[in-house]
Structure 1
Amino acid sequence: MPKNSRPDESIVHNSTSKGGSLRATIPSFIASQFDLKHGDKIRWRIEGDKIVIDPQKG
């Protein structure tokens, strides 16, 4: 697995060897800023040609 040297980027990987899902890591400075913890939910949506990720707290 390639290591990413930029803290503001994530590399997309296969989630499993059998499924079509992909995964990416949330950079630590973003997780800290939004107080994201293991098990928190995030909501994905598309706005034009952008992917928007909304933390779902509370």
Structure 2
Amino acid sequence: MKIVITIPEVLERYQIGRQSLWRWRKNRNFPNPISPSHARPFWRISDIETWESLNAA
């Protein structure tokens, strides 16, 4: 079972572009990545799913 998700996977999951993802992070409280600074961002799938459940409507 996969535990983390990368930028390309987030973009594919929501069918959005990179700019939309960064806007979501700024304006829609999208979870912050758990990766260290200066590393490629990745997120916990559980954080993404929690965000989805809180924003489903």
**TM-score band, normalised by the shorter chain?**
under 0.3
Give 1 or 2: higher helix fraction.
2
Greater RCO, CA 8 A, separation 6+: 2
TM-score normalised per structure 1? 0.22
